[in-house]
């Protein structure tokens, strides 16, 4: 187990289309999940995708089972390992809300996401995950899975008056 360094925006490895995982319940995959969890925990992240630590695989983790200090107002999302995910919006309704990203440190931006989605995929043991979620949970999943197709949240910002430094936008969250 180890805390890995997180790639920052501008690194071309964050722009790749990640490869699907083909073998589950392997030592290699369990080690990757442990590294992702350790790295996410160390950074107080709401989620982390394998490409953010330079691993070109369709693996994301999210959720904390406890309130997140970086998003103290956000509802709790169950800790989840999601592999080879497929997201289906349940309708066309979107809402804009603030996001941050460990690969875009110090900044927040307001971006649109689908409110209600179904997502499917597998955990690290190869067991199927199939959930229908909304709100913050749906936002986190869409944000993390974007990392698997080379997208970072600033690419979705529509109004650049609502994109800036966390310490300026939200002084109460500044360390």
Out of 28, 94, 144, 167, the active site residue is 144
Instruction: Specify the stretch interacting with Ni ion by CB under 5 A; choose among 30-38, 62-70, 89-97, 98-106.
Output: 98-106
Q: Is 140 in the site for Ni ion (CB under 5 A)?
A: no
When the beta carbons of 109 and 121 are compared against Ni ion, the nearer one is 109
Q: In sequence order, what are the beta bridge partners of 111?
A: 97
Minimum separation from the CB atom of position 101 to Ni ion (A): 3
Give CA–CA dist 112/138, Å, rounded.
11
- Compare residues 32 and 108 and give the one whose CB is closer to Ni ion: 108
Q: Are 134 and 115 in contact (CB under 8 A)?
A: yes
Nearer residue to Ni ion within complex by CB, 54 or 126: 54
Instruction: Write down the least CB distance from residue 26 to Ni ion, Å.
Output: 25
- The minimum distance between CB 115 and Ni ion, in angstroms, equals 19
Is 101 near Ni ion (CB under 5 A)? yes
How far is it between the farthest Cα atoms of the chain? Answer: 46
Phi and psi at 41, nearest 5°, equal: -65, -45
Residue nearer to Ni ion on the CB measure, 21 or 101? 101
Stretch that binds Ni ion, among 60-68, 72-80, 94-102, 162-170 (CB under 5 A): 94-102
Residue 107 within binding range of Ni ion, rule CB under 5 A? no
Catalytic residue list contains 144:
yes
Which CA distances in Å does 166 have to 25, 91, 129, 157?
Answer: 39, 31, 34, 15
Tell the smallest beta-carbon distance from residue 50 to Ni ion (Å).
12
Instruction: Give the Cα separation of 56 and 50 in Å (integer).
Output: 7
Among all residues, which ones are annotated catalytic? 144
**Residue ranges that bind Ni ion, judged by CB under 5 A:** 101
């Amino acid at each position: 187990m180890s805390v890995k360094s997180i790639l920052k925006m501008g690194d071309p490895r964050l722009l790749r289309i990640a490869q699907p995982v083909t073998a589950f319940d392997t030592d290699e995959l369990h080690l990757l999940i442990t590294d992702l969890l350790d790295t996410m925990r160390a950074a107080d992240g709401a989620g982390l995708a394998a490409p953010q630590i330079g691993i070109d695989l369709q693996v994301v983790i999210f959720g904390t089972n406890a309130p997140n200090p970086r998003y103290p107002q956000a509802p709790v999302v169950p800790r989840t390992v999601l592999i080879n995910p497929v997201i289906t919006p349940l309708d066309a309704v979107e809402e804009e809300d603030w996001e941050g990203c460990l690969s875009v440190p110090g900044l927040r931006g307001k971006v649109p996401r689908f409110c209600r989605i179904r997502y499917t995929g597998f955990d690290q043991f190869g067991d199927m995950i199939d959930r229908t979620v909304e709100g913050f949970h749906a936002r986190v999943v869409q944000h993390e899975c974007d990392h698997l197709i080379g997208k970072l949240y600033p690419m979705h910002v529509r109004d650049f008056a609502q994109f800036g430094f966390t310490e300026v936008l939200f002084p109460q969250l500044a360390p």
